[in-house]
Structure formats: structure tokens, C-alpha cells
Amino acid sequence: MAGGGGGGKAEEPQPHPPKEQLPGVSFCITSPPPWPEAILLGFQHYIVMLGTTVIIPTALVPQMGGGNEEKAKVIQTLLFVAGLNTFTQTLFGSRLPAVIGGSYTFVAATISIILAGRFSDDGDPIQKFKKTMRAIQGAMIVASTLQIVLGFSGLWRNVTRFLSPLSAVPLVSLAGFGLYELGFPGVAKCVEIGLPQLIILILVSQYVPHVIHSGKNIIDRFAVIFTVVIVWIYAHLLTVGGAYNGAAPKTQASCRTDRAGLIDAAPWIRIPYPFQWGAPTFDAGEAFAMMVTSFVALVESTGAFIAVSRFASATPLPASILSRGVGWQGIGILLSGLFGTVNGSSVSVENAGLLALTRVGSRRVVQISAGFMIFFSILGMF
């Protein structure tokens, strides 16, 4: 046959081979679970981030001069901004199932502003609270520019090119040790409730599924919800049974279920808005301290982004996507400064751990949790 001299069939172009992904994940980043399960998983993510959201304002607002009403408003604002930041991160930023919430990293810089003494002469505690809040807002607005510039300019991309998934291990481990240092002493404030909660969570998530084979991973997947419900009922029974009637005031504040004062102080419906505490004030020293803290949060979140991509069974995160996520996190810190949350934003390491615990890395689940954040931030009595 003419023209057939040795010309074989041309090879068709083949797709790039997929890079290594984490096995054993039930629902990856683009495969959402059924809606009822997704809603429950989203609510579970909301419960996990709620702890940080409540603890930070509870510790900082009284030092600023605020009472229960101011504390409730700050918690609502922090929840609202966390919902906005999580939505924008999952839609426009890294597009990973990463919860963007309050960060303990910013606490030290915030306390330094509170203790600076500039507002100690103000006799009205509410005015002192507002002035301190406006100073924190100004420092946070300036600090947000660091991550915005490094992220959107691509400078951080040049750094992350040298980071492998293995590099996330020390970053996330150090962040976890920091949370341990802040969180575990809180268990000692009420051992009879905190210690059983840890034990029940370990049993429900790690051992009960091997004894009770449900076939749908219901028990270990919703271990946090089961644990919170059981321990809250247990704590409420201790409260109404009079177990703490003769206890010290600090013990009652930590253990009783009726001493927070937040529900009575929170308005039924309230939508947080920018500059609700007044116009921000700026100080060069405070802005520099907050900018250093912002860089620490940047490094922490970089490791958390890598871990989240791993737990969501995504392929290794490209440097450009990671840099874009950092830029949007900078916008999240800017929103924290504009709204006045008393704290900056970063990737929630706790929620990253929940992805590994549930083996569900769906983006839709985290977006549903963001919806819960916004909903409960507006309806304060809930």
C-alpha cells in the first residue's frame, strides 16, 4: 500500500499522572456528602471553632473595660467576620475547606495594646473599652497589608516553592503545642467536666467504632457532636443538682452552665457592621507589633493550608494557590480590623484536625459551617 512505509499510529497525548493523594478519605474536596450529613458535619465544624471564638473575647474584653454586653457583641462580630472570611477563602482564595477564624497568635499583641497604659486614666470603663478597641482596630488594619502584599504580589509564592508537605509537620505541630499551652490549663479549671470530655471524645472517635460496626461511620464521624451533647447534659445535671453551690466563685464561673452571662446580654437580632466602635486610631509601635504577629500567623497558616489540602485528599498545593490564599487571609485580617473583632484571623488548626478526624474534606461542608457562623452571629440569643 503506497505511503505506508513504516509509519506507525501516532501516540495520543496522555494526561499528566495524578500526584499522590491521601487515601482513606470518604469525601474529598469536590465530592460533597448527602445534604443531611453535610449539614451536621458543617454544624460540627461550627462547634469546634466556637470554642476559640468565645474564649478569646471572654479573656480580653474584661481587661479592656467591657462587660457582658460588650463581650456578647464582640463574640457576635468575631463569628460574623469568621463566616465571611471562610466563605471568601473557599470561593476565591485557596478554595480549600479551610475555616478562617480567630487566632491565638494575635492575643499577645492585643494584650500589649490593652496594657499600654494610654487609656488607663479614663474613668468610664465603657469608654476605655471603645478607645482600646479602636487602637486594636488601627493596628490590625495596618498589619493586614503585610499578608495582602505578600500574597497578591506573588512574593510569598517564591517562598512556598521550597515547602513540601513534610514541612507542614513542624509548622502545624508547633501551632498545636501553642494551642495545648493555652487550652489544656482550662481543663484544670474544671477537671470533673474537662477530663471526662477528653476521655469520651477519644473513646467515641477511636474505640467505639471498632466495637459497634454501623457501616456508615456515623459514630466516629460525629464524635464531637456526641461528646458535646453528653458532657453538656452531665455538666447541667451537676449545676441543677447543687454540686457547685458552695464552690469558689472561679470554680462556679468555669463549671456551672448558667454563669456565662452572655445569653442574657446578647440582643435578639444584631448585624455587625464596620466601625461599630468608632473610627480606628493608629500608633506606629502598636502597628509594628501587630505586623510581626501577622507574619507569625502567616507562617502558621501556610502549614495549616498544606495540612488541609492533605486531609481533603487534594493534590499537593501549588505555590500560586497558596499565595492567593494568603492574600485573601490578609483581607480577612483587614475585615477583622474594620469590624472590630479584638483578634486577627488565620486558618483554624482545630478545624483542620477535624477534617482528619471525620475523613471528610468536602468544601461544601465548610461553606455550610460558614453559613452557621453568620446565622448565629446575627441571632445572638441562639
Number of domains in the chain: 1
Measured CA to CA in angstroms, residue 275 lies from 138, 280, 282, 377 at distances of 11, 7, 14, 17
Does some domain include residue 104? Answer: yes
Per-position DSSP letters for 17-55, written without gaps between them:
PPPP--TT-SB-TT-PPPHHHHHHHHHHHHHHHHHHHHH
Mean pLDDT value of segment 176-203: 82
User: CA–CA separation, 42 vs 46, rounded Å?
Assistant: 6
User: CA–CA separation, 201 vs 360, rounded Å?
Assistant: 18
Query: Which one, of 25, 41, 19, lies nearest residue 356 by Cα?
Result: 25
User: Which structural domain range is residue 88 located in?
Assistant: 35-173+265-378
* Contact assessment for residue 325 and residue 154, using Cβ atoms and an 8 Å cutoff: no
* Predicted pLDDT of residue 16: 47
Mean pLDDT value of segment 341-355: 92
Task: Tell me the average pLDDT of the chain.
Answer: 87
Answer yes or no: is pLDDT of 332 > 90.
yes
pLDDT digits (tens, 9 = 90+) for 12-50: 655 445 555 666 788 889 889 999 999 999 999 999 999
- Distance between alpha carbon 216 and the CA centroid of its chain, in Å? 27
Measured CA to CA in angstroms, residue 259 lies from 239, 253, 263, 265 at distances of 10, 6, 10, 12
Answer yes or no: is pLDDT of 8 > 60.
no
Q: Which three cell numbers stand for residue 118?
A: 494610654
Residue 27, strand partner residues: 360
pLDDT digits (tens, 9 = 90+) for 297-307: 998 899 889 88
Does some domain include residue 277? Answer: yes
Residue 239 CB partners (closer than 8 Å, separation 6+): 255, 256, 257, 258
Does some domain include residue 26? Answer: no
User: CA–CA separation, 81 vs 68, rounded Å?
Assistant: 20
Q: How many helices, marked H, and strands, marked E, lie in the chain?
A: 16, 2
pLDDT digits (tens, 9 = 90+) for 92-128: 999 999 999 998 889 999 999 998 877 777 778 899 9
* Contact assessment for residue 260 and residue 326, using Cβ atoms and an 8 Å cutoff: no
Mean pLDDT value of segment 232-238: 92
Does some domain include residue 125? Answer: yes
Does some domain include residue 113? Answer: yes
For the chain, what percent of residues have pLDDT higher than 70? 87
pTM of the predicted model as reported, rounded to 2 decimal places: 0.88
Does some domain include residue 19? Answer: no
Does some domain include residue 55? Answer: yes
Does some domain include residue 192? Answer: no
Measured CA to CA in angstroms, residue 221 lies from 25, 249, 354 at distances of 12, 37, 9
* Contact assessment for residue 331 and residue 90, using Cβ atoms and an 8 Å cutoff: no
Q: Categorize the per-residue pLDDT at 210 as very low, low, confident or very high, splitting at 50, 70 and 90.
A: confident
Lowest-confidence range among 216-220, 299-303, 318-322? Answer: 216-220
- Burial pattern 25-48, b for ≥16 Cβ within 10 A else e, equals bbbbbeebbeeebbbbbbbbbbeb
